[in-house]
Amino acid sequence: MQLEFHQLDQRWELLRVRQPRLQRRLLAALAEAGQQTPIIVVTAPDDSDRYLVIDGHKRIAALRQLGRDTVEAAVWAMSEAEALLLERSMRMSQQESTLEQGWLLAEMQQRFGYSREELARRFDRGLSWVSRRLALAESLPEAVQQQVREGAIPAPLAMKYLVPMARANAEACARMAAGFVKHRCDNRQAGLLYAAWRDGSPMVRERILAEPELFLKTQRPPLLTSPAALALERELEMAAVILRRASRRLIEALPEMNGPRQEQAQRHIESARGELERMAARIGKEQGATHAEPSPTNGDCGAEREGSELARNCAGVATLAANRAHGAAIKIHERAAHPAGGESRAVPATDSGAVARLQGESRASP
């Protein structure tokens, strides 16, 4: 059916994160081909002439930009809560951030009175899955959550750095988030700021929050510059993430795994371990060859050859990434005995020299 915009109630738009790049693509598609998929609505309980939008907020925004007067809608004959649960279960995917899931769970709990046990059953998940996502939604200050909704701060960046910061100091979290937005920090810059704040003295923390751009200017440029070296670093980081995810899955799957499946899992683990050990050995061999080169006789480190410097830098970073991935592989069974709660702990290392300079200026004790 065709609905006019004034008939739509978009109260659930706050559960979604805006993505400007995808919104521009949607706008272009609608301009070229028109609306192909109807939005999903349910009848508003207090007004038969108005409809609650369950899915299609981005399409509505794009159609408004195009100057359209109506939108094609499909009406679901069910309650508001049931429609939200059904729509979310149908489109649950990796594209949906953990924070968005937390927003929905919080609304279902507060507005409709669902218990955590009922939410776990409805979403076919464990109670810990529900609890972790509710904690994410509850810990971030509302102002920061709004910045995430508007797309000013990417949701993964907020979960990785701002959530643990909010648990320690909500005011500092809000100030750090404002710095992320003002200076358009990418993941690396955000990680540097968060790690320096986490490890710094009170005086250093205040200076980082007050002048984040000054701290970022003190950081050295990335050591890896060649496409192959950067690709290797990304792939090793992805391997470490996958291994950590497999470790969490193992906690749930291990009680149900029979003998053959356990043996197969062991073979996969041994295969991954062997490959990582071979990579680490190759890096170690190359690193040893680099260290065997003669050092400068005048004691000035700036006189070293530029190619030798780059080789050592690349080897050092690659070794660190390989060791992290290797450690994740060999500790899968160790972590199976402990709950997985460290989703926000992976943080890039900061330039220790920059932090030392800040600490030296403040003369504050750790």
pLDDT in tens, 251-305: 888 888 888 888 888 888 999 889 989 988 888 887 776 555 444 444 433 333 3
**Between 15 and 246, the higher pLDDT residue:** 246
- Edge-to-edge, what's the strand order for the sheet holding 2-4? 2-4, 70-75, 39-44, 47-55, 8-9
Of 196, 121, 156, the residue nearest 355 (C-alpha): 196
**Between 352 and 179, the higher pLDDT residue:** 179
Q: How far is CA 109 from the centre of its chain?
A: 24
320 — pLDDT class (breaks 50, 70, 90): very low
Pairs from 319-323 (Cβ < 8 Å, separation ≥ 24): 319/280, 319/283, 319/284, 319/287, 321/232, 321/233, 321/236, 321/237, 321/240, 322/236, 322/276, 322/279, 322/280, 322/283, 323/280
Query: What element of type H or E holds 228?
Result: helix 227-253
Query: What element of type H or E holds 43?
Result: strand 39-44
> Would you list the domain boundaries of the chain?
1-91, 97-139, 149-217, 228-291+306-335
Backbone angles phi and psi of 8, in degrees to 5: -100, 135
| Across 84-93, 199-208, 308-317, least confident range | 308-317
CA distance 220 to 266: 41
Of 346, 159, 338, the residue nearest 248 (C-alpha): 338
pLDDT in tens, 100-110: 888 888 888 88
Query: Both tokens of residue 134?
Result: 């509710």
The top-level CATH class assigned to 1-91 is alpha beta
CA distance 193 to 212: 7
pLDDT in tens, 165-222: 998 899 999 999 999 999 989 888 999 999 999 999 999 999 999 999 888 888 765 5
Whether the pLDDT of residue 313 is over 60: the answer is no
Q: What is the DSSP letter of 111?
A: H
Whether the pLDDT of residue 93 is over 60: the answer is no
Of 212, 214, 208, the residue nearest 359 (C-alpha): 208
Beta bridge partners of 44: 47
**277-290 per-residue burial string, b: 16 or more CB within 10 A, e: under 16:** eebbeebeebbeeb
> Are 174 and 145 contacting, i.e. CB atoms less than 8 angstroms apart?
no
pLDDT in tens, 41-51: 998 877 678 89
Whether the pLDDT of residue 27 is over 70: the answer is yes
Q: What percent of the chain stands above pLDDT 90?
A: 14
